[in-house]
């Protein structure tokens, strides 16, 4: 009887804990069967399995064979002290929003760490993979930020478009999405993600869902959904939503945003068909040899920028969350070395720094101030 009361008490405590953290809401909502059937024309969609697939369909299975107990062992036995910075990263705080918002024929951006990026493309404001929560996980004590975002959601200027690459927690943040549900912003997302957004209260009319190689134009700006080599799911590797990279093509500038991706021939294909690009933001962090199919190594990221025919490259997916075993600053060190060797121009903005593609920008080795 006593055991039973303890069990009931524990169940109650656990459920209240889950409820208070809104963990269930965090999981989002996978697409319904009806939604999935509407994807049957997509060459990426395996109708029998009801999953989206990469160009090489069994690439994740092969990768998973290398991910076993030894990885867990390494995680707990290797030196973790350098996976996070020993003090706050230098930043431009507050960012110069006046300069950022001045009318422009060019394109400006502010990188907010990891893959969160604010862009002013000829006076339209676009937010990529907005993650402003304290944590990139369903429960807030896991995968915590290194430091608060240089701009909070409330401090952001009015956003016109929000571009999402895929539904992992470090790219699709429920709290950030909910902040915009009563605003005017239009979401551009890969197939399936609409289901999560609607579940969190975003109106269907404010969501444009695209397959790879499809595009949508708004006010002279063309958004193209392009391939990536990755996976998806908020409760495992469900694969019922698509992952993607994106191109924003405005009359005077064209940029590429890689989302999360391993190195594959899609970079060359996109470069040949849709390049060159004024700037390419490429996944360059949280890599590991064991999962290189789903995250570029830094050297591969630089090669990707070359394949894309990008004039300049900005390494992203680093400097905010610890999701791998490498030192927090290894991505930028290796990116720099590779960029020098391969002849790619690297932009290394501080968090919060305004960068204007039409100007000569100043970049420092700011990461060297932190261990
Ligand atoms: Zn991911």
C-alpha of residue 167 to centroid of ligand 1, in Å: 7
Cα 197 to ligand 1 centroid, rounded to whole Å:
17
pLDDT for the residue numbered 69: 84
Calpha distance 299→287 (Å, rounded): 11
What pLDDT is attached to residue 66?
Answer: 87
Q: How many CB atoms lie within 10 A of CB 306?
A: 17
pLDDT for residue 298: 98
Please indicate, yes or no, if residue 22 is contained in any of the structural domains.
Answer: no
pLDDT tens track for 206-240:
999 999 999 999 999 999 999 999 999 999 878 99
Q: pLDDT digits over 296-321, tens only? A: 999 999 999 999 999 999 999 999 99
Q: What is the whole-number distance in angstroms between the Cα of residue 285 and the centre of ligand 1?
A: 11
pLDDT for 14 beyond 60: no
Token pair belonging to 227: 């391939």
Which residues span the domain enclosing 279? 97-369
DSSP string, 288-313: -GGGTTTS--HHHHHHHHHHTTBSEE
31 lies in some domain: no
Using one digit for the tens of pLDDT, what is the confidence trace for 71-125? Answer: 888 888 888 889 999 999 999 999 999 999 999 999 999 999 999 999 999 999 9
Q: Identify the bridge partners of residue 45 per DSSP, sorted by sequence position.
A: 52
Token pair, residue 30, equals: 């996978």
How far apart are alpha carbons 51 and 182 in whole angstroms? 31
Element (H, E) at 274: helix 266-274
Distance 214 CA to ligand 1 centre (A): 21
Work out the mean pLDDT of the chain and round it to a whole number: 94
Task: Please tell me the total count of domains within the chain.
Answer: 1
Measured CA to CA, the distance from residue 169 to residue 196 in angstroms comes to 12
Query: What is the distance in A from the centroid of ligand 1 to the CA of 126?
Result: 20
pLDDT at res. 5: 56
Q: Does 18 have pLDDT greater than 60?
A: no
CA of 91 to the centre of ligand 1 (A): 25
Q: Would the pTM of this model clear 0.85, i.e. be above it? A: yes
Looking at residue 10, what is its pLDDT? Answer: 56
Whichever domain contains 230, its CATH number is: 3.60.15.10
Q: Does 140 map to a domain?
A: yes
Q: Tell me the backbone φ, ψ of residue 315, rounded to 5 degrees.
A: -70, 130
Confidence of residue 17 (pLDDT cuts 50, 70, 90): low
Decide if 117 contacts 129 (C-beta within 8 A).
Answer: yes
Radius of gyration of the chain (CA): 20
For the ranges 19-23, 55-59, 124-128, 199-203, the lowest mean pLDDT is seen at 19-23
Give distance in angstroms: CA of 207 to centre of ligand 1: 21
261 domain-assigned: yes
Does the residue 34 lie in any domain? no
Tokens 């199919």, residue?
Answer: 293
Please answer whether residues 27 and 234 qualify as being in contact, where contact means their C-beta atoms are separated by less than 8 angstroms: yes
Residue 101 and residue 104: Cα distance in Å, rounded?
8
Q: What's the gap in Å between 16 CA and the centre of ligand 1?
A: 29
Ligand 1 geometric centre to CA of 172 (Å): 10
Residue 225 is assigned to a structural domain of this protein? yes
Higher-confidence residue of 130 and 77: namely 130
Using a 10 angstrom Cβ sphere, with 0-12 exposed, 13-18 middle and 19 or more buried, the burial of residue 23 is: middle
Nearest by Cα to 140 from 13, 231, 20, 286 = 20
Count CA atoms closer than 13 A to 239's CA, side-chain side: 19
Ligand 1 centre to CA of 94 (Å) is 29
Query: So what's the pLDDT on residue 21?
Result: 52
Q: How far is the CA of 8 from the centre of ligand 1 (A)?
A: 37
Q: How far is the CA of 358 from the centre of ligand 1 (A)?
A: 31
Give a yes or no: residue 361 inside a domain: yes
Contact 39, 45 (CB under 8 A): yes
Is 335 contained in some domain? yes
Helices (H), 21-125: 23-26, 33-38, 59-64, 69-77, 97-101
Look at residues 295, 62, 309, 255 and name the one whose alpha carbon lies nearest to residue 170: 295
Q: What is the pLDDT of residues 132-171, one digit of tens each?
A: 999 999 998 999 999 999 999 999 999 999 999 999 999 9
Find the 138 Cα to ligand 1 centroid distance in Å. 14
């Amino acid at each position: 009887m006593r055991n039973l009361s303890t069990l009931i008490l524990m169940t109650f405590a656990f459920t209240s804990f889950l409820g208070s953290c809104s963990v269930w809401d965090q999981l989002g909502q996978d697409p319904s069967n009806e939604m999935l059937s509407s994807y049957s024309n997509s060459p990426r969609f395996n109708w029998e399995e009801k999953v989206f697939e990469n160009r090489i369909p069994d690439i994740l299975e092969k990768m998973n064979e290398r991910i076993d107990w030894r990885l867990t062992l390494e995680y707990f036995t290797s030196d973790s002290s350098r996976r996070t910075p020993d003090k706050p990263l230098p930043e431009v705080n507050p960012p110069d929003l006046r300069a950022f918002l001045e009318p422009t024929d060019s394109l400006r951006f502010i990188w907010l760490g990891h893959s969160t990026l604010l862009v002013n493309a000829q006076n339209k404001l676009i937010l990529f993979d907005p993650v402003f929560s304290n944590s990139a996980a369903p429960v807030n004590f896991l995968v915590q930020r290194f430091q608060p975002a240089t701009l909070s959601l409330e401090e952001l200027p009015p956003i016109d478009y929000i571009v999402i690459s895929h539904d992992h927690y470090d790219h699709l943040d429920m709290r950030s999405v909910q902040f915009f549900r009563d605003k005017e912003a239009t979401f551009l997302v890969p197939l399936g993600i609409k289901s999560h957004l609607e579940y969190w209260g975003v109106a269907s009319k404010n969501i444009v869902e695209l397959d790879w190689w499809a595009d949508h134009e708004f006010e002279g700006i063309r958004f193209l959904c392009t391939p990536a080599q990755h996976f998806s799911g908020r409760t495992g590797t469900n694969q019922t939503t698509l992952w993607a990279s994106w191109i924003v093509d405005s009359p005077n500038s064209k940029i590429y945003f890689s989302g999360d991706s391993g190195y594959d021939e899609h970079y060359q294909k996109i470069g040949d068909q849709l390049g060159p690009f004024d700037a390419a933001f490429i996944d360059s962090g949280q890599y590991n040899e064991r999962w290189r199919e789903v995250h570029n190594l830094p050297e591969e990221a630089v090669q990707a920028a070359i394949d894309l025919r990008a004039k300049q490259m900005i390494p992203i997916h680093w400097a905010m969350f610890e999701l791998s075993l490498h030192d927090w600053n290894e991505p930028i060190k290796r990116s720099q070395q590779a960029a020098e060797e391969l002849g790619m121009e690297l932009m290394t903005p501080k968090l919060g720094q305004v960068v204007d593609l039409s100007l000569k920008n100043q970049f420092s080795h700011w990461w060297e101030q932190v261990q």
